[in-house]
Structure 1
């Protein structure tokens, strides 16, 4: 695996694992540090199959974006986009329509700086460094690229479980839901321990030692994040169950991530 370090921004923390880089490591990516790979190995020990779950989550992203494209959406806002790997939103969307606009948002320096390198010559895709917990500022920056009078697909994949209860994650998501124009889509996946509570407690304890502690929540709570939106069939499910590509997977509840795709009803 290529371990060229030219992409590492000045001042990057090489000693503390970050969620974005660990996720990249679990996907088999090359933009992570030794500390992240060690953390990913521990994650696979305490929650066997966590890497497979991450790949299933990545596949869900592709299927959700394709659904949006088929529905006529040409604007995508990916908050918590993480480290760029093959199959990013702009690659999927712009293969269908080169003019599709994609804005990535992350608060992790490595994710932002490397994305800038990848997107440097792409006039319809960009990234900003911003915090989901500051929706007004984030959405104001997003309006520089995206037209909020036209439908947008907002993606929050494997993101909200990093927002602590004290920050009001459900209320934050509600602000984003309300800001989207009619006909927009909201894609969310979130870790749940409903099916494997003991393993999830171990995984939460591990993430508490990283720079991004995580909180798994119930399927009912996650479904509530789509309040006011019409869930696209089959509704809120474990990610392998959402419009799978021909494959049949046993025990989808083992895949951690639960969520779906909702459409904002026309006023």
Structure 2
């Protein structure tokens, strides 16, 4: 991808979407993304964790959660911070369950939007819009061109909120998005965490430095109680706030690289 730099992209600044693409084995990334990703992978490895396994666990949670929600009858999905397309994107998962389901992808990375538009060109029920999660009301306004918020919508916030360092802002973002949910609507959320007393302060500080130099400018790990608070007013589906790989996963195999932190996942429903 390094030879083809879209207009408006600085390939020397790492992008968290392209780093995530690299974690998942994708090719849509630049040298700066790979370098930053390798730094994070090294730090995690030294701490006994495997970032690529964490990324795969997060992806599995996303697939299982939206499949469940589509199976429960929801036909509208708003995926914010969707990232670069990979296998089993939200629209592919839910439209296999319920053809005609509408999906809106939101991201602020021009490369993500370019890829999404190409992927979705022949799909009349799937849309991509540019949006900045710092302004959630603007995202909802743009999405309302394609989704009917008087009917149930699943809002998907997977592996995106940990790129916001301000706890108060994150709470306001989630409450703005949560408040539009009518009965039957869902909130799908995953968030990076480190087990208490497991994180090496020096390594965590170094990882923050890597992400500070990225386009996101931040990384923040939050605990289970904080993540649980994002579901205030919603019915938290079983098994609650758990490591992403444990959310309704029938596969007994647990990669050893997930033993010390990773991503928490949870799904809430408006009763």
Q: Tell me the TM-score range normalised by the shorter chain.
A: over 0.9
- TM norm structure 1: 0.93
- Is 231-240 or 130-139 further displaced after alignment? 130-139
Deviations 1:68-117 (A, max 9, x none): 01101111100000111111001111122220100000011111111111
Distance in 2 (CA, whole Å) between partners of 1:182 and 1:150 is: 8
Q: Give 1:89's aligned residue.
A: 90
Q: Describe the shift of the 1:26–1:151 C-alpha distance in structure 2 as closer, same or farther (beyond 3 A).
A: same
Asked if 1:188 corresponds to 2:192, the answer is no
Deviations 1:155-193 (A, max 9, x none): 100111112217611121011101112111101111112
1:197 counterpart SS class: coil
Q: Are the counterparts in 1 of residues 195 and 261 from structure 2 also a CA contact under 8 Å?
A: no
2:155 counterpart SS class: strand
Unaligned 5+ residue runs, structure 1? none
| 1:203 counterpart (204, 207, 213) | 207
Q: Matched residue pairs, number?
A: 262
Distance in 2 (CA, whole Å) between partners of 1:40 and 1:250 is: 20
Question: Bigger relative contact order, structure 1 or 2, given CA contacts below 8 A and separation 6+?
Answer: 2
Deviations 1:32-91 (A, max 9, x none): 111111111111100120111011000000000111011011111000001111110011
* 1:97-246 correspondence runs (5 A): 97-165=98-166, 168-195=169-196, 196-198=198-200, 199-212=203-216, 213-246=218-251
Q: Give 1:261's aligned residue.
A: 267
Q: Are the counterparts in 1 of residues 76 and 103 from structure 2 also a CA contact under 8 Å?
A: yes
1:190 counterpart SS class: strand
Distance in 2 (CA, whole Å) between partners of 1:209 and 1:108 is: 16
Q: Are the counterparts in 2 of residues 9 and 113 from structure 1 also a CA contact under 8 Å?
A: no
Q: Are the counterparts in 2 of residues 52 and 255 from structure 1 also a CA contact under 8 Å?
A: no
- Is 205-214 or 234-243 further displaced after alignment? 205-214
The alpha-carbon deviation at position 255 of structure 1 amounts to 4.6
Q: Are the counterparts in 2 of residues 78 and 104 from structure 1 also a CA contact under 8 Å?
A: yes
Q: Are the counterparts in 2 of residues 19 and 211 from structure 1 also a CA contact under 8 Å?
A: yes
The alpha-carbon deviation at position 210 of structure 1 amounts to 1.5
| 2:27 counterpart (19, 22, 30) | 30
- TM norm structure 2: 0.91
